[in-house]
Structure 1
């Protein structure tokens, strides 16, 4: 049986994607890595702790955040992407913009991780097709500026699945290969506590559509509402537990802040299986 892969990474076990936000205003680590040297150092540390790939982003998507210019986004992310890729590290670029994605793919990024599922910039889909780049399609209700407000869900797992299937069909119709698409249910993007938990539990239902599933619940606000912990950086224990649960349910990629803790927990889970 052939083991599936995504972005050159075998999905023979749940893979850990480390978060490197090069922003002043991300909800958890904003301002920590505005110095590209610090962002690069942290990315290398995450790899040493067991990250399989590093996700670099230069625009905050926290509710209420405002878009940044293409120039500012590129200034933030490009040195980090170049530095990591030059060392042979698998890098995904977390962006909604074709111009940013193009420069980062040129610099060695392997994957485009788009919170807008190729809807915000009409030039991004043709670029992904042209470059043959793997792409993560994320479900997002509304936009950050309006705090992801939108219509109520009927069945959140089925609604998200239907949306992502429609976006995948559009991408494939344009020329993106089936095996270069992954799904992200968009934990925390316009969902209630109960809906976020349902999506994590429903990772297998999403994966049954035939695409790898990426789950990013790390330090999200709904964990704070569940635990009473206001400070995002103190939510790592619950974040690790949710990452393992997502993997247990069928997620292939786990986007996390605490790489070492997640890898330890996954190793124990794998041994117990």
Structure 2
């Protein structure tokens, strides 16, 4: 496939800046659309282009400021897929999502070729769970396309002895140096502590509690912990709860993250989070 752009570069930049311009105005929701057969929460539900489009529209209608589309599961124990499979899953839907869902679109990928494809289809952001450190061509791809990027902390191994907050800072120092050398403008970068990735259960909570340590970077912080297994033990008994137990735990954890400086939240349930964040913002501004 040719690398010639098929999406208007000015339009991509406008969608990117539309989202970046909202930062600082309150807590923002990123709605998840998994076009995968094996994602931990909703695998197989949104594989078709029509189902993905309907879910994206639902998120936006409920108040999501951006939609994050993924075509490869990154859950623990997932089976990696090659770039051509990931791109084939996205091809029927991505441009339709960009044109019709009414919000900027991010693509959840760690592969530079998929990121370039996403930019050609009009996606405004790439969400890289390896923080520009897995595919050496990812940072140049982000710089060349003008996309914004979510840089997530991750590790191949889990070491209970690791100081996870210190490790996040060292990891982000490397990622930001890679970004700067590639020519990615700093104002297009968002940091993600990578809850559920390369961490013990305790380290996941330490990472959330340690979010203020990321404040000196002066960059927006995204948290993605929606429905994750570390919340299962904290969720109320499903036999008595009147709403889905892990939704309650997710909202509580996201509000705790917001109190520590997170401003963007990658979630499966947009409406409930928008409502909770409206109250949080009102209290914070008062």
Give me the TM-score of the superposition, normalised by structure 2.
0.86
**Structure 1 match to 2:105:** 91
Aligned to 1:32: 45
SS in 1 for 2:199: coil
In structure 1, the partner of 2:254 is: 243
Aligned partner (choices 211, 218, 221) of residue 213 of structure 1 = 221
Shift of 1:36: 1.4
Q: Compared with structure 1, are the counterparts of its residues 241 and 45 closer, same or farther at alpha carbon in structure 2 (3 Å cutoff)? A: same
Deviations, residues 210-256 of structure 1 (Å, cap 9, x unaligned):
211110011111001333879xx641111011112211211121111
**Whole-Å separation in 2 of the counterparts to 1:174 and 1:78:** 27
Moved more, 198-207 or 89-98: 198-207
Aligned equivalent of 2:164, options 152, 156, 163:
156
Residue 180 (str. 1) matches residue 180 (str. 2): no
Other-structure match for 1:168: 176
The runs of 5 or more residues in structure 1 that have no matched partner are 143-148
Question: Does the 8 A contact of 1:5 with 1:11 survive in 2?
Answer: no
**Residue deviations 1:70-117, cap 9 Å, x none?**
222112223332112113421001001111111111111000100011
Q: How many angstroms apart in 1 are the aligned matches of 2:176 and 2:231?
A: 29
Say what the alpha-carbon RMSD is for the aligned residues: 2.0
Find the counterpart in structure 1 of residue 28 from structure 2. Answer: 15
Specify the SS of the correspondent of 2:40: coil
Q: Post-superposition shift, 1:46?
A: 0.6
Alignment: residue pair count: 262
Q: Deviations over 1:120-143 (max 9, x none)?
A: 22221111111222111111111x
Task: Please tell me whether residue 42 in structure 1 is matched to residue 50 in structure 2.
Answer: no
Which SS does the other structure have where 1:19 is aligned?
strand
Bigger Cα displacement from structure 2, 220-229 vs 184-193: 220-229
Correspondence 1:220-231 to 2 at 5 A: 220-227=228-235
1:48 to partner: Cα distance = 0.2
1:108 and 2:119 correspond: no
The 1:195/1:78 distance shift into structure 2, 3 A limit, reads same
In structure 2, the partner of 1:145 is none
Q: Secondary structure at the match of 1:208?
A: helix
**Which structure 1 residue ranges, 4+ long, deviate > 6 Å from structure 2?**
none
Instruction: Give the distance between the partners of 1:5 and 1:46, measured in 2 at CA.
Output: 17
Output the CA distance in 1 between the equivalents of 2:155 and 2:225: 16
Q: Check whether the contact 1:43–1:84 (CA below 8 A) recurs between aligned residues.
A: yes
Rg: which structure is higher? 2
What pairs with 1:61-72 in structure 2 (closer than 5 Å)? 61-72=74-85
Gaps of 5+ in 2: 1-16, 239-243
Partner of 2:280: 269
Indicate if the aligned counterparts of 1:192 and 1:222 stay in contact, CA closer than 8 A: no
Task: Compute the displacement of 1:5 (Å).
Answer: 7.9
The Cα offsets for residues 176-205 of structure 1, whole Å up to 9 and x where unpaired, read as: 111111111100012222211122222222
For 1:79, what is the secondary structure of its paired residue?
coil
Whole-angstrom CA distance in 1 between matches of 2:76 and 2:188: 29
Report the CA distance between 1:8 and its aligned residue.
4.8
Q: 2:53 & 2:245 partners in 1: Cα distance?
A: 23
